[in-house]
Amino acid sequence: MSIALLEGKQNPIREKAPHSIGKEEKAAVLAVMEDGELSHFLGRSGEMFLGGKRVKELERQVREYFGVAHAVSFNSGSTALQAAVAALGIGPGDEVITSPFTMSATASAILLNNALPVFADISPDTYCIDPVSIEKNITPRTKAILAVNLFGASADYEKIKDIAQRHKLKIIEDNAQSIGAAYQGRYTGTIGDIGVCSFNFHKIIHSGEGGILVTNNDRYAFRAQLVRNHGEVVIDDLIAQGAYEPVVGSNYRLSELHAAIAIEQFKKLERIIHERRQAAEYLTHCLKKFSWIVPYELEHDNAGVYYVYPFRILSGEIGIQRKTLARAMEAEGFPVGEGYQKPLYLLPLYQREKMFLNSQYPFMSLDYGHGVKYSKGLCPVAESMYEKDLVITTIFQPPNTLSDIDEFISVIKKIEEYREELREYEKKTAH
C-alpha cells in the first residue's frame, strides 16, 4: 500500500455530479414550449399579477406539502429571502440577528432592505446559530432572527422561539438547504413566521434557479407578492379600496418553464431525501470508527435531509492539520471541502462597511447610534470551523453508491495509517 500525496502522485478525481432531471421534467418543459406562454406574469393588478398556471400549481403543491396557508414562488431563494425581510416591514434602523456561517445571500437579504445584519455565533454540534449567542446580541433595534437551517438540518427552534417570544421578535427561516427536513416532527420552514426554500441547481431539488416563500400570515404573503412583481403599481387600486401598503417591488418572478420543472422535482422530493438519508447515515456509521473525527450526528428530533455532509477533524488527536488531510484526500482522487464559508462579516462588504460607492449607509448613519461590530474574533466557533476544523464531503450523494463511500473511508484509513509520514511531510512543507 502507498499514499499518493507522499509519492507525488495524483489519482483521477472521483466526482460524480448529481443529476436528478429525468423524462418527466423534459416533458413538462416541452408542454410549456408548446403552449407558448413562457410566463403569465404582468406587473399590474388583475388576473396576471400572480402568474400563470404552473406557477400557481407549484404554489398549491408546496402549500399542501408543508400544510401552510401561503406559498409565494420567486426566481431564486435569494430574492425570496429579500422579500421575506421586506414582508415583515423591516428597514432602516432595524437589526436582524443571523448566522455568519451561511451563504452570503442570507445576510444580503437584510442589507438590501437597508437594515443591518448582526452576527451571532454557531453551535459546534449543528453548525446552526447558537441561541445563547442570539440572546447576547439583542438590542432595542432587533426586529427579527433570521435562522439558517444549515446542511439540511434544523436550527434549535425550541430555544429560538422562546427567545423570540420573550423579546417580541419575528423569525425567518432560511431553509434553502433543508427542504423536507423536520424538527420535532414539523417541517423546517414552517416553524418561524416565514420560511424560504431554494430551487437553485445545487439544492436538494432544483429547477436550475428558483425559490419559494411559505407563511401562514396573510399580510406577509401579500407583501411578498408585492415585492415579487412591481407591487407599487398595484397600490393605486388598493388606495381606491382605502388601503395602502408601503412597498417597492421588482421582478422576482418565476417563469412557467422553471415552475414546470420544479413541480416535477417536487414529486421526487421524498425519494431523493430517502436516498440521501440512507447514504449519509451509512457514512456516519463508518466515520464513527475514527477517534479523531467527529461525524455529523443529529439529535433524534432533527430529521435532516443532508444537503452536504460536514464532519470535524480533531487535529490534536491525529497530529496533522486539516490542510494536509485535504491534500492527501485530493491526491487519492477524493477531494473534500475545507471549512465551508468564510464567516460573512470577514467579507470586504462588512470589513469596509460599504455597499454603495458614495455612502456608508446603512452601516453608518443616524439610524444606527451604537454601530454594529464586524471585527475578527466576533464568532469564534464559526471562525474555527472555517479556519481549521470543518471538512465537507458530497460522497454520499447519488449517483455515488455505498461502495464509493467505502472507498472514501479506505482513503481516510490510509491517512490514519500514514499519520507519522504525513506529519513529517507537513513539517517539511511548512513555511
Ligand X SMILES: *Cc1c(COP(=O)(O)O)cnc(C)c1O
- Taking every pair of Cα atoms in the chain, the longest distance, rounded to a whole number of angstroms, is 80
Which listed range, 169-177, 226-234, 257-265, 288-296, lies at the site for ligand X (CB under 6 A)?
Answer: 169-177
Nearer to ligand X, 113 or 198 (CB): 198
394 in contact with ligand X (CB under 6 A): no
148 near ligand X (CB under 6 A): yes
Q: Give the shortest CB-128-to-ligand X separation in angstroms.
A: 10
- Minimum CB distance to ligand X smaller for 187 or for 418: 187
337-338 and 390-393 beta bridge pairing: antiparallel
Under rule CB under 6 A, residue 303 binds ligand X: no
Please count the residues of this chain forming the interface with ligand X, following the rule CB under 6 A. 14
Say whether residue 189 binds ligand X (CB under 6 A): no
How many angstroms separate the CA atoms of 191 and 352, rounded? 35
Q: Residue 211: CB partners within 8 Å, gap ≥ 6?
A: 73, 74, 75, 76, 77, 78, 79, 80, 81, 176, 196, 197, 198, 199, 200, 254
Taking CB under 6 A as the criterion, the residue among 28, 58, 90, 103 binding ligand X is 103
Q: Show the cell assigned to 388.
A: 481549521
Backbone angles phi, psi at 110, to 5 degrees: -75, -50
Work out whether 325 is an interface residue with ligand X (CB under 6 A): no
State phi, psi for 312 to the nearest 5 degrees. Answer: -110, 145
- Among positive and negative, which fits the CA dihedral 385, 387, 391, 394? positive
Sign of CA dihedral 101, 106, 110, 111: positive
Q: Which of residues 73 and 229 has its CB atom nearest to ligand X in the complex?
A: 73
The residue range among 75-83, 233-241, 268-276, 395-403 that interacts with ligand X, by the rule CB under 6 A, is: 75-83
Within 10 angstroms of residue 306's Cβ, the number of other Cβ atoms is 28
365, with CB counted inside 10 A (0-12, 13-18, 19+), is middle
| 147 lies in the site for ligand X, by CB under 6 A | no
178 binds ligand X (CB under 6 A): no
Of 171 and 328, CB closest to ligand X: 171
Binding residue for ligand X (CB under 6 A) from 61, 73, 106, 394? 106
Q: How far apart are CA 70 and CA 170, in angstroms?
A: 17
Catalytic residue among 143, 203, 373, 427: 203
Residue 427 bears catalytic tag? no
Stretch touching ligand X by CB under 6 A, among 102-110, 235-243, 326-334, 414-422:
102-110
What residues make contact with ligand X under the rule CB under 6 A? 76-78, 102-103, 105-106, 148, 174, 176-177, 198, 200, 211
**Catalytic residue numbers, as ranges:** 203
